[in-house]
């Protein structure tokens, strides 16, 4: 399980750490400023790993190989860029609910409405039980969005060609 970043003022890796502590066999990798995270998030578990910043190839490989990627945040209005990277990798996502994320991902990711270790733990258990279903949902969304984007580009090109004629 991967939690990208973790150093922004609205990010809640503390919720992820508390949830993982209560789950057997789950390892959490938190990327970002290792020294900062270790200072603000003391922990006593060998299943919580602060990787620090990773080279792109290693980072994207981590996102692709993860069982699930977490976006637990109190940010009410934005979609973090890493969610697009995770979607491109076809990896399931558990995220805090906010309207832009709910609209974009439209049922293709597991959304938790309240950031608590208990809610995240339930989401992780659901993801473990039905992971393949969540993989299919995120990959279908990815493919649908690629198709829409391709169609939009073609429409734009057709319009430009008509105007140039």
CA distance 50 to 7: 12
Per-residue pLDDT averaged across 6-19, rounded? 87
Residue boundaries of the structural domains of the chain: 2-164
CA distance 83 to 91: 10
**162: number of CA atoms within 13 Å, CB side?**
6
CA distance 10 to 31: 16
Per-residue pLDDT averaged across 6-26, rounded? 89
Per-residue pLDDT averaged across 32-51, rounded? 74
Looking at residue 7, its pLDDT comes to 73
Q: What is the pTM of this model?
A: 0.89
Q: Which fold has domain 2-164?
A: Rossmann fold (3.40.50)
């Amino acid at each position: 399980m991967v939690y990208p970043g973790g150093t922004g003022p609205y990010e809640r890796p503390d919720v992820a750490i508390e949830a993982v502590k209560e789950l057997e066999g789950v390892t959490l990798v938190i990327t970002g400023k290792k020294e900062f995270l270790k200072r603000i998030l003391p922990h006593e578990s060998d299943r919580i790993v602060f990787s620090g910043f990773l080279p792109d190839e290693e980072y994207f490989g981590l996102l692709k190989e993860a069982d699930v990627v977490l976006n637990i945040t109190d940010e009410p209005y934005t979609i973090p860029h890493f969610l697009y990277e995770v979607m491109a990798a076809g990896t399931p996502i558990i995220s805090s609910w906010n309207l832009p994320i709910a609209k974009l991902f439209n049922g293709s990711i597991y959304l938790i409405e309240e950031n608590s270790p208990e809610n995240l733990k339930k989401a992780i258990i659901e993801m473990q039980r039905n992971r393949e279903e969540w993989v299919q949902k995120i990959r279908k969304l990815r493919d649908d969005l690629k198709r829409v984007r391709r169609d939009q580009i073609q429409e734009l090109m057709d319009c430009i060609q008509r105007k140039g004629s």
